[in-house]
Structure 1
Amino acid sequence: MKQNHVKHARLRLEGVEDSTLAEPDPRPKLFPRFLASIALFFFLVGMMIGRLQDPAPVMLDDIQITADGMQLLFDSEPKVTAEHVDGALVMRIDAEGSSRQGQLQLDGRNVNWRVLRSKGGLLVNFVAARPLRGQWHGAAEGGRWRLVISLGAED
């Protein structure tokens, strides 16, 4: 019985002209555009939320030379790591700021210092003719962060 129905449908279709249009539908396809606009909207909203949750970088505001070292002023507390490399003191500070350099006096001898911008933040280098040792501590002060670096010659 199924075969008879299929033959009858074929016969009926062979005698009738095709009812589809020969040219493409001139109406625009709105559904792909709708999906693309929704995807773009949620992407932009996600970017804005991510930007709001991303903390602002710590900024170096000022550098002050003291009798035995240096004071660095930041807008908030940075992460600080330091090491002694061949008699020089090298500090890596997770902050942003401009590059600067200068010289300070320690026990009547010159100590060259340099603040460099790098990928990981700021590098603070202290170099002298004699090996240096350094100590540092930070404290909050009036809405800012003061990092005090005390230098001394190694014995």
Structure 2
Amino acid sequence: MHGSERKDGLHSTPEDDPRPNLWPRVMFSLALVGLMVGLMIGRLTAPEPRVLEQIEVVPAGLQLWFNEQPEIHGEHVDGAVALLINAQGKAQQGRLQLAGKPVSWRVRKTDQGLLLNLVAARPVRGEWAGATVDGRWRLEISLREE
């Protein structure tokens, strides 16, 4: 067996390679490209957000128009009607007439979506139903006095 002494500039152990090791850079680049492609595919396949497009006042109620059908949770709270709608939109408010008496309505943004409140000086009850009309989704809210 030979020793580790130097003979003709050769050692028994190889010298350090002065070239940089590119394997970690290649793996990082592949991971980065994979992440970017995954984000692009996710963006393309994500569902379109549900948006409140328009609110119309109709006799004894409201019609809300959406681009797609949202999830709706409604309750009657102390003589008022409250609907939590899983959609995006802007805050709005207005008034309508129910048997010649005013009813105030207001749409507010919340963390869960939009909150629609219908309030009057006397207790009101509401019924709501949705349907697809001309490629849009309509939520029709009918009010009546208690």
In the alignment, the residues of structure 2 paired with residue 146 and residue 46 of structure 1 have an alpha-carbon distance, to the nearest angstrom, of 35
Structure 2 length-normalised TM:
0.89
* Cα distance, 1:61 vs structure 2: 0.9
* Cα distance, 1:119 vs structure 2: 1.5
In the alignment, the residues of structure 1 paired with residue 94 and residue 10 of structure 2 have an alpha-carbon distance, to the nearest angstrom, of 88
SS in 2 for 1:125: strand
Q: Does 1:138 pair with 2:138?
A: no
Q: Does 1:152 pair with 2:125?
A: no
1:75 to 63, 67, 81: 67
* Cα distance, 1:57 vs structure 2: 0.9
SS in 2 for 1:44: helix
- Identical-pair percentage: 48
Structure 1 length-normalised TM:
0.84
Q: Does 1:49 pair with 2:49?
A: no
Q: Looking at CA atoms only, which structure, 1 or 2, has the larger radius of gyration?
A: 1
**How many residue pairs align between the two structures?**
143
* Cα distance, 1:68 vs structure 2: 0.3
* Cα distance, 1:28 vs structure 2: 2.4
1:57-136 map, 5 Å:
57-136=49-128
In the alignment, the residues of structure 2 paired with residue 26 and residue 89 of structure 1 have an alpha-carbon distance, to the nearest angstrom, of 76
* Structure number having the greater helix percentage: 1
Structure 2 unaligned blocks of 5 or more: none
Opposite residue 13 of structure 1, the aligned amino acid is: S
SS in 1 for 2:50: coil
1:13 to 4, 9, 20: 4
